[in-house]
Structure 1
Amino acid sequence: MILSVFHETRYSYDAPMRGAVQSLRLFPSRFDGQQVIEWEVSVDNGVRGGRFRDGAGDQVEGWSVRGPLSEVVVRVSGRVATEDLAGVLRGHREQILPAAYLRPTLPTHPDPGLRELANGEAAGGADALDRAHRLAEAVAEAIAYRPGVTHAHTTAAEALALGEGVCQDHAHALIACARLLDMPARYVSGYLLATEDGTPHEAAHAWAEIHVQGLGWVGFDAANGCCPDARYLRLGSGADARDAAPIRGVALGPGSERLDVTVAVEQAQQ
């Protein structure tokens, strides 16, 4: 499948800012399931800085914008050929050991509710892969998909107590539960092809990866009840949503910020 992506992120300020600096993780991951045909990342009136590949195998690029400025606009466009690998991240080169993803973070910090969820039926799986699937199913049943009820700083424990949330909440909850069972887990950011069957999801999407002995990293999208397939485009990973954020940065000045995001993911012609 060939996925066509257009992604625009616009930061607007109500007072002139002196400048902005950003770190972008907006480049498709290199692994057997993805082949970049064309891909362009740009920042309006920005100056491109250094580019490097971090220990997790993600490409990161720095940008700066000189002021005075009233907005910063980041644009992404391109086409990527994807293949269904049943969620297995095959052929991905990275240097960070899986054990590094066992440490809890603030959004994934376990509470009694998460411990009960992790130690329920999911803990009785026949093997590690079965336990991972059971965990994903348990999270999907415990947290209903409902946009607008949580926010960027909602923790896994809070989403579980609420019983509702979005893909970020499902991913954080699954990561927290997997780590409680000594299974390394991490947060993945990317895109998901829009469907016409009413399946709820955001085009700018997120899911979890759990490290399974013998297989390596395997993706689980509890929000949609499946493993990532050819409809998914992987960008990068981290210990949680903040760590894996596609855009991180700071603007210098007194203005308050407003964020507008437009994402379109379509299936292109072969």
Structure 2
Amino acid sequence: MRLAIEHTTHYRFTEPQARLVQLLRLTPRDDANQTIVNWRIDVSCDARLRHGMDGHGNAVTMLYAEGPLDEIAITVAGEVLTTDGTGVLGGIAETLSPIVYRRVTPTTLHDDAIRAFADGIASAHSERLPLLRALNHALPGHWAGRARKTDRTEAAAMFAADMASPRDMALVFVSAARSLSIPARYVVGYSLAAADAHGAPGPHGWAEAWVDGLGWVGFDPSQGHSPDEGYVRIAVGLDAAGSTPIAGMRIGHGQEVLDVDVHVDRLGGEG
């Protein structure tokens, strides 16, 4: 499948800012399931960009902009060729051992309720891949409804709520997997199905878990299946905060207003 992606993040400031420094995790990497045809980062003002890689192996770009700045828009756009790898990640160099992703963070700390939920599923499955698939299928039914976005910051609060966003579901999946000592991590990227179903204004979130003999396998509890050719993978982290597409700081007073707009479209033809 050939996907066209355009993702704009627009900041407006109530007072001019003297300086802006941003860490951008907005550039996909080639792997066995995706090939980057073209990709660019555009900034609405004069800015210096420095490209590199973080500790998780994500392609990152440091953005430096000098003020006074009343606003700034960061747009990434490109085309990606994708194939369906049934969720199995391959063709990409890993910088960290899977064991690192058993580490619990404040966001992914599990409570008794999450542990009991995970244990109940694990009791019926002796092998890891069927267990993870069962967890992925069971999680969506835990919540009464779906939300496009929530402000909850802890997996326990997400699990206890009546509604959950795709990010919440993925983080609870990570928390539940780690409660079973399974390495798991949060993934941010783009999903054609999620954009069509939810009209989501921002990037999509899902999870990956380690399966011996296969490696990293993706799971999207918000969709109830593994990532297919409709997904483009951007970055991974221990949790959502560690893989957020844009993070940084500004020097200046006042407030900021943030608008995010994402379009994911399938282009005609298969390559």
Query: TM-score with structure 1 length normalisation?
Result: 0.94
Q: Tell me, which stretches of 5 or more residues in structure 2 are unaligned? A: none
Indicate the residue corresponding to 2:214 in structure 1.
215
Indicate the residue corresponding to 1:31 in structure 2.
31
Q: Distance in 2 between matches of 1:223 and 1:158?
A: 17
The question of whether the paired residues in 2 share the 8 Å contact of 1:51 and 1:62 is answered with: yes
Q: For structure 1, which segment, 117-126 or 181-190, has the greater mean C-alpha deviation from structure 2 after superposition? A: 117-126
Indicate the residue corresponding to 1:41 in structure 2.
41
The question of whether the paired residues in 2 share the 8 Å contact of 1:167 and 1:201 is answered with: no
Indicate the residue corresponding to 1:142 in structure 2.
142
Identity of aligned residues (%): 37
Indicate the residue corresponding to 1:265 in structure 2.
264
Q: Deviations over 1:130-155 (max 9, x none)?
A: 1111111222221345225721x432
- Alignment partner of 1:124: what SS? coil
Q: For structure 1, which segment, 116-125 or 15-24, has the greater mean C-alpha deviation from structure 2 after superposition? A: 116-125
- Alignment partner of 1:49: what SS? strand
Indicate the residue corresponding to 2:183 in structure 1.
184
- Alignment partner of 1:243: what SS? helix
Q: Distance in 2 between matches of 1:201 and 1:39?
A: 23
Could you say if the C-alpha distance between residues 41 and 144 of structure 1 is closer, same or farther in structure 2, counting changes exceeding 3 Å?
Answer: farther
Query: 1:247: how far off?
Result: 0.7
The question of whether the paired residues in 2 share the 8 Å contact of 1:143 and 1:164 is answered with: yes
Q: Tell me, which stretches of 5 or more residues in structure 1 are unaligned? A: none
Q: Deviations over 1:75-114 (max 9, x none)?
A: 0111000010000001111210000011111111111111
Q: Report the residue type matching 1:215 in the other structure.
A: L
Q: Distance in 1 between matches of 2:15 and 2:90?
A: 47
2:107 aligned with 1:104, yes or no?
no
Could you say if the C-alpha distance between residues 126 and 51 of structure 1 is closer, same or farther in structure 2, counting changes exceeding 3 Å?
Answer: same
Query: 1:48: how far off?
Result: 2.8
Q: Distance in 1 between matches of 2:198 and 2:125?
A: 28
Query: 1:57: how far off?
Result: 2.1
Indicate the residue corresponding to 2:163 in structure 1.
164
Could you say if the C-alpha distance between residues 194 and 174 of structure 1 is closer, same or farther in structure 2, counting changes exceeding 3 Å?
Answer: closer
CA RMSD for the aligned pairs?
A: 1.7
